[in-house]
Chain A
């Protein structure tokens, strides 16, 4: 019965960028040229994948370049793709009112990449949360203490392979 619903091909979501997104799509390869980014467009945003050790430098360019001026870190999260962990930064510019996505792939064993707290103080709790739930460590973060979980919690509950404890009646 389960086979009945399985489809051969998974359809891809179509991308519909707005004017600002299209402008960024043209602009980004030039501005970030030295980091050799891989630029794709998701459903509504432009996403650039860079090497993890470059992330701090790329973020600095994204924040300080007058054509980008991403002064607002909207969201930082980790997605577990099993073969690698993807750290995703959603950046927003309060002056130019545009948004982009930065991504970096790290290996699931001892994942680590530079912290962006020197650029945006608001990355503080996001990075601690990512460390809690996915075990990604951010070099240069002032305080990597557990945020959402308690001290001494074992394992990384955000990851796909985390085994949920069985429910039992007390």
Chain B
């Protein structure tokens, strides 16, 4: 195949490399067809849909209260954030008030879920870049959060805890003390992982300046969340359109400078610290009272449509809910954050080395469950 041409240089052949769907660093079932010239990626074609379960269609056949369980299974790393956005959509459509205590419990658990999700990201991103140790620390800490979730919701992952009009039940009596201890341990753990990985020479060489995207392109692709904030755009629904009780807390929105893989990683590390600040303030302010507004078991929201936005760990989730007054929704459309973030992969990967493909894909932090729905 290789010939010496007249100028004395090696001839190269363009080669097609298939990556995935069963590939450990695609974080699920995602397939890319790469056309490579030597080590450079010339072109690529992403293929999704291996996990398409028709969630939106299934929603049309379920009662409103049952759909919460389907939303658990979209982004299975941040279940509570997903449950919350659907419940908020139905509440907005019905004009249903949520008790204050329930709002605080929701915010605390959602932010805790954000920390758990980012911990999983920082660990697996380390593996993508060749660092095997950080995931051990990250998983140790994430496990503590999962134990906390189990204590509150009764389940480690598919909680079905946030209900339309509030939450399933009150938190355990020793919730505040346990949270205090947990936050202390988490802070230590995050600092530990941060020291171990973030400024390591090899890690910097693998991620700095790799997979750069500028703000305009990112906005044109509809990217959101930490991946967009890494380009220096301070877009966050919790600040732009404060929902629940987010306007009562003092917290910052970390942004990056260059929009490279390292920025996308470090924005998430900083976000974990901000989330813990929110949790601390929420624990302090949390009032006593009921945790759910009683409503009928079979809800029949009025005819109309609503679009509700929420900030997930991966970016902005949106739910477009159309109701015709029946006990089942007429149409549910989810705007999944990973879907839009992943769309930019073509822009990010062209012209980079094949070894960096794994790092760049990892830095987007996708969950195929919500990409394919």
Contacts and interface: CB of A to CB of B under 8 A. Distances in A.
Contacts of A101: 307
Contacts of A88: 320, 333
B292 interface: no
Interface stretch (B216-224, B274-282, B352-360): B216-224
A94 B303 CA distance: 30
B237 to A, nearest CB: 10
Given A13-B301, A75-B333, A158-B57, A44 B92 contact: yes
A149 B49 contact: yes
A26 to B, nearest CB: 20
Which secondary structure characterizes the binding site on chain A?
Answer: loop
A13 B93 contact: yes
A10 B325 contact: yes
A44 B304 CA distance: 10
Interface stretch (B65-73, B100-108, B335-343): B335-343
Contacts of B235: 94
Contacts of B223: 122
A11 B340 CA distance: 35
A72 B221 CA distance: 8
Contact of A77 (B49, B54, B94, B320): B320
Contacts of A73: 222
A55 to B, nearest CB: 18
Interface in B279-329: 301-309, 316, 318, 320, 322-325
A157 B55 CA distance: 11
A44 B305 CA distance: 9
Contacts of A90: 307, 318, 320, 335
Contact of A79 (B220, B240, B309, B330): B330
B95 to A, nearest CB: 7
Given A12-B303, A13-B323, A150 B222 contact: no
A20 to B, nearest CB: 9
A45 B219 contact: no
Contacts of B343: 121-122, 124-125
B184 interface: no
Contacts, number: 108
Contacts of B57: 133, 157-158, 162
Contacts of B240: 97
A71 B309 CA distance: 17
A75 B301 contact: no
A43 B92 contact: yes
A12 B304 contact: yes
B367 interface: no
A8 to B, nearest CB: 11
B303 A13 contact: yes
B28 to A, nearest CB: 14
Nearest to B49: A148
A169 to B, nearest CB: 19
A123 to B, nearest CB: 8
B206 interface: no
B233 interface: yes
B47 to A, nearest CB: 8
A15 B95 CA distance: 10
A11 B323 CA distance: 11
Given A13-B323, A122-B221, A42 B305 contact: yes
Interface of A: 7, 10-15, 42-45, 71-75, 77, 79-80, 88, 90, 94, 97, 99, 101, 120-122, 124-125, 133, 146-150, 157-158, 162
Given A122-B223, A125-B343, 7 more contacts: A11-B303, A13-B94, A13-B323, A79-B330, A120-B222, A147-B48, A148-B372
17 contacts: A11-B303, A12-B302, A12-B303, A13-B93, A43-B305, A73-B222, A75-B333, A75-B335, A90-B335, A94-B219, A94-B233, A94-B235, A121-B221, A125-B340, A133-B57, A147-B49, A162-B57
Q: Which 3 A-B pairs have the closest CB atoms?
A: A13-B304, A10-B325, A122-B222
Interface of B: 48-49, 52, 54, 56-57, 92-95, 217, 219-223, 233, 235, 240-241, 301-309, 316, 318, 320, 322-325, 330-331, 333, 335, 339-340, 343, 372-373
